[in-house]
A and B are shown apart, each in its own frame.
Chain A
């Protein structure tokens, strides 16, 4: 089933509408894995539906997605498998849904992580964004619910935000399919390496901690030269996270 996106972007040179096929639940032989993360009630499931053409029920209450939903789309003959993770506020504690989300980003090694945030509550949402950016360097920020932000007279300087975070920022109103073509294009460019992210690293930590993290991260990089998240592993080791210690011992982090 071919579903064309109905928006002005159809005709934009950057978006190849003919190259898009929503694959629903058919995700065999995919080329890339895309994770969908974000706080509860930011419209992740709506973004998921808009990308896959699926009609997963979306509810206006936090915690709607209790099971991990998977779907797919094909863009420019490449197949993308999309995984909708449970919504979480943080990755630092150890409740089951947070662990599920963290483990997938860490061990599932998605080619791209789409972080869906509520444009009306950006500051609170950034807490999770900054944590995810310590784990992966292939991410795009989906600035969702822009229609509500506009109604609330909130304006966001997307360019500065993208520069500060070091990842592309795509404003969307997924409920009305706005911004979805740009999101697809951006996902594809990150997956193919056309866009290289330089994600923000957490800055405001006391000097003694920063020094400890640097020392430890350097050691980790010595052992695993290509690891993207040495700093985050250092954070977790300093925290004494036994799961990460065991994963490191078993070599699962590379």
Chain B
């Protein structure tokens, strides 16, 4: 290769570029389209004689219409959630029965028979094992139902229609329309939602999508919302409509999360992440009947098990920490009760309590262990019977029993509402934080994305608590 010849070639190209003028790009593109048209003319034949029923466009007219688009969207979301809630109950209690009521005592007696010291036995079996068992029992059934249903919708082709419906809202908030897709992924798992933002080309809009993905209520948080809504909100209405009202409350929280996503996106795009909204083409693909079993299989392997495994990896050390802080004493007090009493004042301001705040701190690794941790800590603090020992997570047989423990811990309707709000508005779990760092490669934005929702949560719960105490 001769460098001089190469320079000559480039020189020549510069000269020729002058000669052929500005229209080169357009001429070339037109040339390609003309070629394509020629080829298609000779090879493709469409039989117009058979009347085609355009089912796709008929469906699209309805699901993307101004009148029905949003109601249908919420109806589908509601149905998916309802099926998840109802369907997960039975396998969840089955798993809890197996892992917590049967295997756990077995492990305990096994440990006792080989003479394992009490602290090792407590640390491993009451701490690590129970946390993992809880995560599996609480998280696996709803995920195994939610993800396949979501995947079926995805394969059917509904998601691009959601993006189409939400596009104008995202545009108004200065964000990318494809954020609707990453938001939907976030309903399953925020870490997955953050990875999915790679489909957004503009770095500015991608960053907005990453930071606000946490406002999609994820799988780890659905069970908390459902449990608390059922116990406290369902209880204030007649029992005939209580399950419907609890479902509405949960959907209300999810919609509130979407409202926060839009507001924060808007605020970001007006301040630190200024810029133009980029335009993009969204192709509405044809509806395709999903291949049912194949979809079930891939979504179980691809999503459910991977997300579950990640949760287990992070839950195990959290269980260990919970056991340790409840069993290590400084003076007469365990670290846990010391932390709870020192946070109670701040918790009261927010309409919460020290137990909830501590539970959220130790549950940073995995949101799904918040409720069992709260129960365990409440029993420890109030000294009522029901627990199995300090630092041991447990499950109560019924929602009523859970409600009784929580009420004994001083919970009111306000505590419940604020817990639901705080569950929506707090830092992402550690898996998501780590994923945000991997995707943005920026410590600054990772810290911002982690701290901002907590601050929002503090502000919102504080305001709600003050209003509540003034007026109700």
Contact = CB atoms under 8 A, between A and B. Distances in A.
Interface string B271-313: 0000000000111011110110000011101110000000000
Interface stretch (A4-12, A57-65, A108-116, A179-187): A57-65
A14 interface: no
B328 interface: no
Given A61-B285, A204-B34, A248-B6, A160 B160 contact: no
B35 A204 contact: yes
A216 B199 contact: no
Interface string A41-63: 10000000000000101111111
Contact of A126 (B40, B46, B47, B282): B40
A61 B302 CA distance: 17
Nearest to A64: B199
A209 B24 contact: yes
B47 A155 contact: yes
Contact of A67 (B10, B30, B52, B198): B198
A238 B33 contact: no
B46 A160 contact: no
Which of B12, B157, B195, B196 has most A Cβ within 10 Å? B12
Contacts of B283: 40-41, 62
Contacts of A209: 20, 24, 27-28
A62 B36 contact: no
A123 B36 contact: yes
Contact of B35 (A175, A202, A212): A202
A250 to B, nearest CB: 10
Contact of A212 (B19, B40, B44, B302): B19
A164 B43 contact: yes
B159 A60 contact: yes
Interface stretch (A23-31, A77-85, A146-154): A146-154
Contacts of B34: 203-204
Contacts of B2: 223
B29 interface: yes
A192 interface: no
Given A63-B178, A66-B198, A126 B35 contact: yes
B31 A223 contact: no
Interface residues of A, number: 65
Contacts of B27: 205-206, 209
A2 interface: no
B42 A164 contact: yes
A196 interface: no
B159 A59 contact: yes
Contacts of A203: 31, 34-35, 38
Contacts of B201: 95-97
Interface of A: 40-41, 55, 57-63, 66-67, 89, 92, 95-97, 120, 122-124, 126-127, 130-131, 148, 152-158, 160-161, 164-165, 175, 200, 202-206, 208-209, 212, 215-216, 219-220, 222-224, 234-235, 237-240, 245, 248-249, 251, 254
Interface of B: 1-3, 5-6, 8-10, 12-13, 16-17, 19-20, 24-25, 27-40, 42-48, 50, 52, 151, 154-157, 159-160, 163, 178, 181, 195-196, 198-199, 201, 281-283, 285-288, 290-291, 297-299, 301-303
12 contacts: A60-B159, A62-B282, A66-B196, A67-B198, A126-B39, A161-B39, A204-B30, A206-B31, A208-B19, A219-B12, A248-B9, A254-B1
